[in-house]
Amino acid sequence: MANPAAGRLYVVATPIGNLGDLSSRAREILSTCALIAAEDTRHTGVLLKAFGIETPQLSLHDHNEQARTPELVARLTQGASIALVSDAGTPAISDPGFELVRAAAAAGLDVIAIPGPCAAIAALSIAALPTDRFCFEGFLPARGAARRARLESLAAEMRTLVFYESPHRVRDMLEDCAAMLGGERPAALAREITKLHETMYRGTLDGLAAQAASDPDLNRGEIVLTVAGAAPAAVDATAGVDGHGGELDRVLKVLLAELPLKQAARLAAQLTAARDNHAYKRALQLKQA
């Protein structure tokens, strides 16, 4: 049974760029709660100063969340209401906050959403890709091999895919997406949403990968990539293919002797009518054999 004297944990979405996106309700909660648990108190301090909010802050980030959660739950139990914020957007969505929310819920405390900006939803809403069903994957692994393995596991996913990525990995990520998911897939890349240099790039994964190699602006700022899901016919066509032997192997062996792996796989796919991601996976197997 909930403790009527306990405080509430408010999960407060904050602007991802434009300060005008802070809701009046969020402003009221941040002004009246006893404490703000912030991912970076310096970053949140700028927001609070802009709105004349003087509520004290306590840092809560990936490196201290587990240790700080019992203290915060105790303060909630004793009657203090706490606002949870991340640097931008909605807390716990590829940001700190999950451990605190889970612990507060387990303790029977009220956890209240103060909704607002979320980069994934904002990008999806303007991507011009299907939005009735989608799959949020957050950040892909930083290392190439692990990233490609994750993408391989998503190749047959028919829902629209939504990814976050940091600027310095965008080019490699797009190349891997094209190779593992298929370069012909429609995709949209949103950068710096709600900020001064907001830009939306639409095309295919092949086209976006090529643009990332030639346009330095595409590799700057916060990135959300949305990718169309696999077509049912494409999933059915590849379900029974094991990738061993045959024309693809013969072409790959010749090309791999002369060309880098990605280029060899792409050319082999064009020459044999194989899917890009299938040719890439088979090229990896041959290279490692």
- The residue range of the domain holding 187 is 120-234
Model confidence at 283: pLDDT above 90: no
The predicted pLDDT at position 241 comes to 43
Among candidate residues 84, 14, 85, the one with its CA nearest the CA of residue 50: 14
Q: Is residue 229 part of a domain?
A: yes
Whole-number mean pLDDT of the chain?
A: 91
Measured CA to CA, the distance from residue 14 to residue 18 in angstroms comes to: 10
Residue 3, domain member (yes or no): no
pLDDT at site 245: 47
Same domain, yes or no: 111 and 125: no
Amino acid sitting at position 155: A
Total H helices, total E strands in the chain:
12, 10
Choosing from 86, 117, 148, the residue where a domain stops is 117
* Residue 4 placed within a domain: no
SS3 per residue for 69-134: HHHHHHHHHCCCCEEEECCCECCCCCCCCHHHHHHHHHCCCCEEEECCCCHHHHHHHCCCCCCCCE
124 and 228 assigned to the same domain: yes
- Is there a single domain that holds both residue 141 and residue 96? no
Q: Could you tell me which residues come within 8 angstroms of residue 241 by beta carbon, excluding any fewer than 6 positions away?
A: 278
Q: What percent of the chain has pLDDT over 70?
A: 94
Together in a domain, 100 and 140: no
Same domain for 127 and 212? yes
Two tokens, residue 235: 């999933």
Residue 207 lies in a domain: yes
Same domain, residue pair 148 and 188: yes
1 in a domain, yes or no? no
* Spatial separation of the C-alpha atoms in residues 280 and 71, rounded to whole Å: 50
CA distance 183 to 209: 9
In the predicted model, is pLDDT for residue 150 greater than 70? yes
| Angle in degrees, CA 270, 275, 215, rounded to 5 | 70
- As a whole number of angstroms, the distance between CA 88 and CA 234 comes to 37
* Residues 257, 162 share a domain: no
Per-residue model confidence as pLDDT tens digits over 160-202: 999 999 989 999 999 999 999 999 999 999 999 999 999 999 9
CATH code, domain with 41: 3.40.1010.10
- Lowest-confidence pick of 15-29, 33-47, 171-185, 239-253: 239-253
pLDDT at 229: 96
2 falls within a domain: no
**Residue 43: which pLDDT band, with cuts at 50, 70 and 90?**
very high
Chosen domain end from 83, 117, 151: 117
Residue 282 counted as domain residue: yes
Say if strands 223-227 and 111-114 run parallel, antiparallel, or are unpaired.
unpaired
How many domains does the structure of the chain reveal? 3
* Residue at a domain's end among 60, 82, 117: 117
pLDDT digits (tens, 9 = 90+) for 71-116: 999 999 999 999 999 999 999 999 999 999 999 999 999 999 999 9
* pLDDT value of position 238: 47
**Which helix H or strand E contains 173, and what residues bound it?**
helix 170-181
Q: What is the CATH number of the domain that holds 207?
A: 3.30.950.10
Nearest Cα to Cα of residue 10 among 41, 42, 32: 32
Q: Could you report the per-residue pLDDT of 218-273, keeping only the tens digit for each?
A: 988 889 999 999 987 655 444 434 444 478 888 888 888 888 888 888 888 888 87
* Residue 159 in domain: yes
- Please tell me the predicted confidence (pLDDT) of residue 274: 80
Q: Do 59 and 95 share a structural domain?
A: yes
**40 plus 62 within the same structural domain:** yes
Same domain, 35 and 102: yes
Is the domain of 147 the same as that of 105? no
